[in-house]
Amino acid sequence: MRRLWEKKGSRPVGDFSIFSVRYDRSLSPLTGYEKEFTILETNDWVNVVPVTPEGRIVLVRQFRHGTRRYTVEIPGGGVDRSDRSADEAARRELLEETGYEAEEFLFLGVVEPNPAFQTNRCHTYLARGVVPVTSPHTDPGEEIEVLVAGEDEVEEMVRSGEIDHALVIAALYWYGRWKRKEGW
């Protein structure tokens, strides 16, 4: 049985609004090797696969500052301290980013975005029967264009690299798995 590395100490480095950084010193139970690791702490995230009554998927296009380009994604974001759950955050993000609400919300799965140095998880939900109920209400730093595409179009966007966000592709995997299980 594998034993966990022993955490010998931890020290904060800084708080940067959407994440904080700390250094953890850990000891390998196998070799005795001791090292300081950089750990990024951040809230959990959510992704929503919104599907209209006609079976089309609601997407968002937005500028991403990390890659300095526009990306096509599904609605999603951070679980805020004011959210009681990831489910609540997913509903809020869907409404804020797209103006859509869902007839039904289902949990599809969870992934760890980068367990090498991040502490958070990304929860994926299926929003079925989504319909527009209001205009999007984005944050001042967000400029989002709402798109609606057929499943074949979304698959082609992934194949062509137009959709290349790893967490979006993971969410689409959960959605495809759910569809196969449900016999759609």
pLDDT cut 70: percent of the chain above it:
99
CA-wise closest residue to 124 among 181, 175, 72, 57 = 175
List, for residues 54-107, the tens digit of each pLDDT value: 999 999 999 999 999 999 999 999 999 999 999 999 999 999 999 999 999 999
Report CA-CA distances (Å) from 32 to 2, 7, 8, 68, 170: 14, 12, 12, 42, 36
Sorted by where each begins, the domain ranges of the chain are: 6-41, 45-182
CA-wise closest residue to 47 among 150, 173, 177 = 173
Task: Report domain 45-182's class.
Answer: alpha beta
The conformational region for residue 137 under phi > 0 = left, psi -120 to 50 = alpha, else beta, is: beta
Compute the Cα dihedral for 138, 144, 147, 151 and give only its sign: negative
pTM for the whole structure? 0.93
Which residues, other chains included, contact 117 with Cβ-Cβ below 8 Å and sequence gap of 6+?
37, 38, 39, 40
Alpha-carbon distance of 110 to 121, in angstroms, equals 7
